[in-house]
């Protein structure tokens, strides 16, 4: 492991100033960063510890009905906050489907947004990887691609974003708050992560020194609480990243869909908002046929990046099932196997 300097920031402004230097990264929960450093995948010159920054570890309900999640709120604390889980059940379900309880109790909101791909060619330093070493190539092309991208990829990178949390955030129009050298700004989460576009090492819109300070869910997002689900297909129900996942949320007037949200995980280098599918759903009856047409629209531009054509059909089916579950209604209690296809759909065999 490479030697590095360590700095503990006392304020966001101090963190931004320290983080602007080349070779510097921010340290919060460290659940992804430290593993990559130990494997020599990442070799920073300096860590800026932001864990003691004041005011970033709170969940705030605002007078306008929006909710602000501080950058240092732990994933486990957020998922188990009763008020938050009632207002944004798909987000809570996504959080509880990720990693283990120990990791959720360490991982932070901002860290989840910034976690790196789990592509094995990225984590294997003997492989060529444009994300790890710009311009070196992509050994994933023609390699083991079962879990790789089917949307938005190009020859420079076929990896996928690993986050569960970000998928319902994308569906619900979450906004990322950022403090940088130029001041404070807000970026829609759907625009925060970048597709490869020939430069896969540029993963987000962050500039050197930029510090995520929070994520805001607008008041309108809570309007989907009654019909909102997250569904995740993985190689095993615990401790595995998504092969494909989907967040679905509906506003219903009887059997008619007034408004719909749909986003995918595990299909691209960013959480994938399926706006074409949402347009198909709006104003239509909430029927299996409508859901199938929406799923077809969502995956119309999908193409395999190797031996993963099965993911296109799997994503269609996951979309239909997630929409079907959303129509049935958010369970009164979180399923015992959050986001799992094997969970009781209505939370009958569930814990409080």
**pLDDT at position 345 over 70:** no
Residues contacting residue 269 through CB under 8 Å, at least 6 positions apart: 117, 149, 152, 153, 157, 159, 160, 161, 193, 194, 195, 196, 200, 203
For residue 344, pLDDT beyond 90: no
| Rounded Cα distance, 27 and 111, in Å | 9
The full DSSP string for 93-126 is HHHHTSS-HHHHTT-BHHHHHHPPP--HHHH-TT
Mean pLDDT to the nearest integer, 292-311: 98
Average pLDDT rounded to a whole number, residues 194-207: 98
Q: Which residue has the higher pLDDT, 343 or 203?
A: 203
- Structural domain range at position 287: 226-328
168, 323 Cβ separation under 8 angstroms = no
With respect to residue 15, please indicate whether it lies within any of the assigned structural domains: yes
Q: What is the pLDDT of residue 14?
A: 97
Question: Does pLDDT of 248 surpass 90?
Answer: yes
The tokens of 306 are what? 């190797």
**pLDDT score for 1:** 79
Cβ(277)–Cβ(246) under 8 Å? no
Q: Is the pLDDT at 136 greater than 90, yes or no?
A: yes
Average pLDDT over residues 250-264: 98
CA distances from 272 to 114, 204, 242 (A): 16, 14, 13
Q: Is the pLDDT of residue 6 over 50?
A: yes
pLDDT of residue 155: 98
CATH code at 27? 3.30.43.10
pLDDT above 70 for 346: no
For the domain that residue 273 is a member of, what is the CATH number? 3.30.390.50
pTM greater than 0.85:
yes
Note whether residue 156 is domain-resident: no
Q: How confident is the model at residue 350 (pLDDT cuts 50, 70, 90)?
A: very low
Q: Is 69 part of a structural domain of the chain?
A: no
pLDDT at residue 351 is higher than 90: no
**Chain centroid offset of residue 221 CA:** 16
Q: Is the pLDDT of residue 343 over 90?
A: no
Domain membership of residue 193 (yes or no) is no
CA-closest candidate to residue 331, choices 226, 259, 239: 226
Q: Does residue 2 surpass a pLDDT of 50?
A: yes
Decide if 129 is inside a domain.
no
Is the sign of the CA dihedral 90, 95, 99, 102 positive or negative? negative
Residue 336, pLDDT above cutoff 90: no
In a domain, 172, yes or no: no
Count of the separate structural domains present in the chain: 2
Q: What is the pLDDT of residue 347?
A: 43
Mean pLDDT of the chain, nearest integer: 96
Taking only the tens place, the pLDDT of each residue in 74-98 is: 999 999 999 999 999 999 999 999 9
pLDDT of 34 higher than 50 = yes
Q: Is 282 part of any domain?
A: yes
CA-to-CA distance for 229 and 97, rounded, in angstroms? 12
Residue 295 forms part of a structural domain = yes
């Amino acid at each position: 492991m490479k030697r590095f300097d360590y700095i503990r920031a006392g304020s966001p402004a101090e963190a931004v100033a320290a983080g602007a230097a080349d070779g510097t990264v921010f340290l919060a929960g460290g659940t992804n960063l430290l593993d990559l450093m130990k494997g020599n995948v990442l070799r920073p010159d300096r860590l800026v510890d932001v864990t003691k920054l004041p005011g970033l570890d709170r969940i705030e309900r605002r007078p306008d009905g929006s909710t602000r999640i501080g950058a240092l709120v732990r994933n486990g604390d957020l998922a188990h906050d009763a008020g938050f889980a009632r207002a944004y059940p798909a987000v809570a379900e996504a959080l509880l489907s990720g990693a283990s309880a120990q990791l959720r109790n360490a991982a932070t909101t901002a860290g989840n947004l910034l976690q790196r791909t789990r592509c094995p060619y990225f984590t294997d330093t003997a492989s060529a990887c444009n994300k790890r070493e710009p311009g070196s190539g992509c050994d994933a092309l023609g390699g083991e691609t079962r879990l790789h991208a089917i949307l938005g990829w190009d020859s420079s990178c076929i990896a996928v974003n690993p986050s569960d949390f970000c998928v319902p955030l994308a569906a619900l129009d979450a906004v990322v708050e950022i403090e940088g050298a130029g001041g404070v700004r807000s970026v829609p989460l759907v625009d925060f992560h970048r597709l490869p576009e020939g430069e896969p090492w540029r993963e987000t819109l962050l500039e050197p020194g930029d510090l995520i300070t929070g994520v805001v869910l607008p008041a309108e997002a809570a309007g989907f609480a009654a019909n909102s689900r997250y569904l995740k297909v993985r190689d095993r129900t615990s401790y595995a990243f998504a092969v494909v996942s989907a967040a679905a949320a509906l506003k219903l007037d009887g059997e008619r869909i007034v408004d719909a949200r749909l986003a995918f995980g595990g299909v691209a280098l960013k959480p994938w908002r399926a706006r074409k599918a949402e347009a198909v759903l709006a104003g239509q009856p909430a029927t299996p046929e409508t859901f199938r047409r929406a799923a077809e629209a969502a995956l119309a531009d999908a193409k395999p990046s190797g031996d993963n054509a099965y993911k296109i059909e799997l994503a269609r089916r996951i979309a239909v099932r997630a929409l079907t579950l959303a129509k049935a209604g958010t369970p009164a209690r979180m399923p015992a196997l959050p986001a799992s296809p094997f969970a009781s759909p209505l939370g009958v065999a569930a814990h409080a």
